[in-house]
Amino acid sequence: MPDTDHKIRWGIIGLGNIAQSFATDLLTVSNGCLHGVASRDLNKAQEFAKMHHAQHAYGSYESLIADEQIDAVYIATPHTHHKEYTIACLKHKKAVLCEKPFAMNKDQVLEMIATAKEHDVLLMEALWTYFLPHYRYVLNLINRKEFGTVQKLEADFGFSSEFDADSRLYNKDLGGGSLLDIGIYPVFIALSALGVPKEINASAKFYKNGIDTECSVKFTYNNRSEAYLHSTIIKDTPTTATFYCEHGIIKINEGFYGPTTVTIVANNEQKTLDFGYTTKGFSYEIAHFNQLLLKNKKESPIMNYDFSIQLISLLDEIRKLIGLEYPV
């Protein structure tokens, strides 16, 4: 466990766009610092380190994992490598914050969790939305039934992109497609707010190489609540999440998964709440993880193992329903 008088020394494996945002926000969290970053391209690692004030740059993931100065590792590689590098870090007694999806399937997630328990090390799936103040606020409204039971949820995540053979998003070998990359967010919203559904229906459209370009999902619950979830990488969508309750509507506005506003319509009134975000939004997840590590906790009470297992199980079931298969 790191000395509570010192900052937690972070390492980052995989230096894509989401790692850029993570590193930017890490600088805003008082009890953490960026010790080192790793890429298979040393020049890329050095440029990233300079931009984000990291002390060290590594030309291999293995070199970072072997650095005994590092307390925690943020894994932001393509999905297909999450399990491999998570387990390698855990075996080196490094706490791990691994990007969503936690891994490619439930079996891989269970193996990662078992390794964390075996080596007595903190492990958490990085699903930053769960820690954002606006979403904690919405969950509180729903859990205490401020406007009655949720009767319907509509959530979507879509953006327009063109096929790029070099893009991870269109590479089936790297877990590309809409469901695992962005469809996980609407599924996450439904699971965290409404729980595990009793019935799932799903359909999808595919690109010629087998990745899903669009995915539509319907969850039905025991109380007859329904969730309509959609993801697409070929067209722009509102990217909102709207809860239709018995006595009101709660709408998480554009970019529901990140820093945004919430609009509530109830009692013949409409109000929009601004949560005063000043960072990209990853700072809340980082601060939570740092506190867990400083308190020698091995599992998050919010993003716990059971939740991650439920989430990947839902993704597995949706994949089965739409016929989406990956090499791993």
4, pLDDT greater than 60: no
Same domain, residue pair 160 and 243? yes
Q: Which of 127, 156, 171 is the last residue of a domain?
A: 127
Same domain, residue pair 223 and 153? yes
Across residues 163-176, what is the average pLDDT? 90
Same domain, residue pair 31 and 165? no
Residue 327 lies in a domain: no
Same domain, residue pair 208 and 154? yes
CA–CA distance, 198 with 223 (Å, rounded to integer) = 10
Same domain, residue pair 122 and 138? no
163 — pLDDT class (breaks 50, 70, 90): confident
Residue 194 lies in a domain: yes
Q: Which of 109, 127, 145 is the last residue of a domain?
A: 127
Q: Which of 112, 127, 142 is the last residue of a domain?
A: 127
Domain containing 159 equals: 133-274+312-322
CA distance to 52, 233, 236, 275, per residue, from 161 (Å)? 28, 6, 9, 30
> In sequence order, which residues have a C-beta less than 8 Å from that of residue 84 and are 6 or more positions away?
none
Same domain, residue pair 258 and 137? yes
Residue 117 lies in a domain: yes
CATH of the domain at 247: 3.30.360.10
> Domain count of the chain?
2
203-216: per-residue pLDDT in tens?
A: 999 999 999 999 99
CA–CA distance, 207 with 215 (Å, rounded to integer) = 12
Same domain, residue pair 172 and 316? yes
233-245: per-residue pLDDT in tens?
A: 999 999 999 999 9
